[in-house]
Amino acid sequence: MSTIQEVAKYAGVSVATVSRVINKSDTVTEKTRLRVEKIIEELNYEPSALGRNLRTSESRLLLVLLPSISNPFYSEIINGIQDTVISQGYNILLCETDSNPEREAIYFNMLRNRLADGIISMDPTVNKDKLIELAANYPIVHCSEYDEDGTVAHVTINNELAAYQAVRHLIKLGQKNIALINTDETFLYARERRRGYEKALLEFGLPIRKEWIYHADKLEFQRGQQAVRKLFQQDDKPTAFFAVSDIYAIGALKEINAKGLRVPDDIALVGFDKISFSNMTYPTLTTVAQPMYRMGCTAADMIINKICGKEVESIILDHELVIREST
């Protein structure tokens, strides 16, 4: 690997001039520029980001933290982020945390280390204190998930309202026995969606039955199957399910079909996220669509503004209930 020194030497100029050529300063004569560029080409020289970053103390790298890449929900968000940051000269690196505090700490450290300029986190706040402390000194925004106490700027949807509308939709269809398939309530969205579910029930005079609220721990299809199995073991069986993720809804659907019951005639079902799978099931899934691409773009704009020292406000985007065959 050649260095700026070698380029300078062979081009017969100083390193400063080479640096000027690389950084497109306009105070270099055409002739010099061409000579330097020729040498750069010949030596196959590439400026070391390490040296540059150490000097400028910026890396133009953004970290995107996500619990797991196997949830297709994140894909579109990432596309939005990617498209937005690239146009601004940044790049993103995806960091899978598994919601594991140790892994999270590694990525947090990359920020303190100056290896990255900012973090877009889609992770529930595993290490809350650390995050808040970090966010005070470094650019961090939350996307989709966020910290309820609210010191960190975020972009998200109104999860409570979305869940409320989904459940109200079921109730208006005549459903009275609606179970909730929820995820781990360390996720804020899980807590919010439960609230929306409960609010809808209360509003229509339906009882909130603890035994009809199922908590899955991992976001896997199998957990949706398990949920249905468990809920159907009870004497009083629900006739409708609201799942906080399409992943669970798809698992639930599989189990309902396996029991010989028909959706939506015997059992109604609503999911959340409108992942692409949700349109491949039989029947297709009623679900809540989030503006994922736009959410990604927004998060990207926010983090870049933050890096530039601007104040950024949290943003709530619109969602939409997409009614398909399962209700």
**Contact criterion met (CB below 8 Å) for 162 and 319:** yes
Task: Please say which residue, 33 or 294, places its beta carbon nearer to DNA.
Answer: 33
Instruction: Count CA atoms within 13 Å of residue 286 on its CB side.
Output: 23
- Cα 316-306-190 angle, rounded to 5 deg: 35
Tell me if 1 contacts its own copies by CB under 8 A. Answer: yes
Pair of tokens at residue 197: 């579910």
**3-state SS class at 96:** strand
Please count the residues of this chain forming the interface with its own copies, following the rule CB under 8 A.
46
Asked if omega into 283 is within 30° of 0 (cis), the reply is yes
Task: Please say which residue, 18 or 302, places its beta carbon nearer to DNA.
Answer: 18
Task: Please say which residue, 93 or 202, places its beta carbon nearer to its own copies.
Answer: 93
Task: Please say which residue, 42 or 211, places its beta carbon nearer to DNA.
Answer: 42
Look up tokens 């140790």; give the residue: 102
Distance from C-alpha of 26 to C-alpha of 8, rounded to nearest angstrom: 18
19: partner contacted, choices its own copies, DNA, none (Cβ within 5-8 A by kind): DNA
Q: Phi/psi of residue 319, each to 5°? A: -120, 180
- With contacts defined by CB under 8 A, name the span among 20-28, 93-101, 207-215, 318-326 that binds its own copies: 93-101
**Contact criterion met (CB below 8 Å) for 326 and 263:** yes
Task: Please say which residue, 18 or 243, places its beta carbon nearer to DNA.
Answer: 18
> How long is the chain?
327
5: partner contacted, choices DNA, its own copies, none (Cβ within 5-8 A by kind): DNA
Sign of CA dihedral 83, 84, 89, 95: negative
Number of H helices and number of E strands within the chain? 12, 12
Residues 15-74 close enough to bind DNA by CB under 7 A: 15-20, 22-23, 27-29, 31-33, 47-48, 50-52, 54-57
Neighbours of 151 (CB within 10 A): 10
Sign of CA dihedral 104, 107, 111, 116: negative
Task: Please say which residue, 53 or 158, places its beta carbon nearer to its own copies.
Answer: 53
Residues 233-292 close enough to bind its own copies by CB under 8 A: 250-251, 253-254, 257, 276-277, 279-282
Rounded to a whole number of angstroms, the minimum distance from the CB of residue 55 to DNA is: 4
Rounded to a whole number of angstroms, the minimum distance from the CB of residue 284 to its own copies is: 9
Instruction: Using CB under 8 A, list all residues that contact its own copies.
Output: 1, 46-51, 53-54, 57, 59, 61, 68-70, 72, 74-75, 78, 82, 91, 93-96, 106, 109-110, 112-115, 137, 220-221, 250-251, 253-254, 257, 276-277, 279-282
Footprint of DNA on this chain (CB under 7 A)? 1, 3-5, 12-20, 22-23, 27-29, 31-33, 47-48, 50-52, 54-57
